Amino acid sequence: MRASRWPSFTPPRRTLGGTVESAAASPRKRHALQLFEGLPPRYDRTGAVMSFGQDPRWRAAMVNAVDPRPGQRILDVATGTGMVARALAARGAIVTALDQSAAMLAVARAHAPANVTFVQGEAERLPFADASFDALTFTYLLRYVDDPAATLAELARVVKPGGRIGMVEFGAPGNPVLKALWRIHTRVGLPLIGRLISPAWYEVGRFLGPNIEQFHTAHPDLAALWRAAGVAEVDARPMSFGAGLVMSGVRDGHGA
């Protein structure tokens, strides 16, 4: 059995909005922090609109893939406004929900049941000992970190061997016709929808399409990243004609 330890990490600092930001935050990280600071009040509803109602389906599919059981301790990383955390808690799990944004967590706390605990922190430096949780979920995370492989290893570190890990992420369709339609939606439709809501959402809408495509171009084999991080039995399930991606796997017993 591996000895439990608390990871060492650079002490974080907080932005004016209360968001955790590591002392050595990169331009990518700073941009992500700034991009999402003004979104929490309409986050759930607008996210559903921008995905044509598909985002809740993707999250539900991830929860089913993780298959939470009553009494399990589950960590939900990048919890945002707590949608996945609430779904896990509804199945009887004891949930720890982590996000770097104080504004997001404030919204999440307002709607959370008693079996959800909130922690402000970063996915790259989790403040938990090895093998602390029975399962782990994360949503729309890897596009916003500098080193997805290292972040996946850090997520896997806190899961017990045999524990399930699940992810929701945006995808990009492989079919050329569907991809052309997807590009029109992400390059034109999302900014237009965002502009109707607020300047902050306009910036998100303008950012998402290129960011999603760049991420999948840079990391064409996400399953290999998962296996290298110590996750076995990796399953990748494209949803909504490839616009969504649900992945799951099992923490192996050998470490990353």
Compute the distance between CA of residue 53 and CA of residue 59 in angstroms, rounded to an integer. Answer: 11
Single-letter code of the amino acid located at 131: A
- Mean pLDDT for the stretch of residues 40-64: 84
Residue 143 has pLDDT above 90, yes or no: yes
Both tokens assigned to 233:
């039995």
Q: Angle CA(147)–CA(152)–CA(29) in degrees, nearest 5?
A: 35
Mean pLDDT is lowest, of 2-6, 23-27, 211-215, for 2-6
Domain ranges in the chain are 12-27+53-173+220-251
Residue 14, pLDDT score: 43
Residue 10 has pLDDT above 70, yes or no: no
Each residue of 157-196: pLDDT tens digit? 999 999 999 999 999 999 999 999 999 999 999 999 888 8
Both tokens assigned to 101:
């944004």
Residue 98, pLDDT score: 98
- Percent of the chain whose predicted confidence (pLDDT) is above 90: 70
Torsion sign, CA atoms 152, 60, 28, 30: negative
CB of 104 closer than 8 Å to CB of 79: yes
Compute the distance between CA of residue 182 and CA of residue 209 in angstroms, rounded to an integer. Answer: 9
Q: Angle CA(201)–CA(38)–CA(183) in degrees, nearest 5?
A: 25
Each residue of 75-124: pLDDT tens digit? 999 999 999 999 999 999 999 999 998 888 999 999 899 999 999 999 99
CB of 19 closer than 8 Å to CB of 39: no
Residue 6, pLDDT score: 33
SS3 103: helix
Residue 115, pLDDT score: 98
Single-letter code of the amino acid located at 98: L
Q: What is the pTM of this model?
A: 0.86
Q: Which CATH number fits domain 12-27+53-173+220-251: 3.40.50.1820, 3.40.50.150, 3.40.640.10, 1.10.3720.10?
A: 3.40.50.150
* Cα–chain center distance at 124: 12
Mutual angle of helices 43-50 and 190-197, in 10-degree steps: 150
Q: Which of 137, 63, 71, 61 is nearest to 98 (CA)?
A: 137
Mean pLDDT of the chain: 87
Highest mean pLDDT among 39-53, 62-76, 92-106, 202-216 belongs to 62-76
- Mean pLDDT for the stretch of residues 222-245: 97
Mean pLDDT is lowest, of 28-42, 126-140, 217-231, 234-248, for 28-42
Both tokens assigned to 109:
């706390």
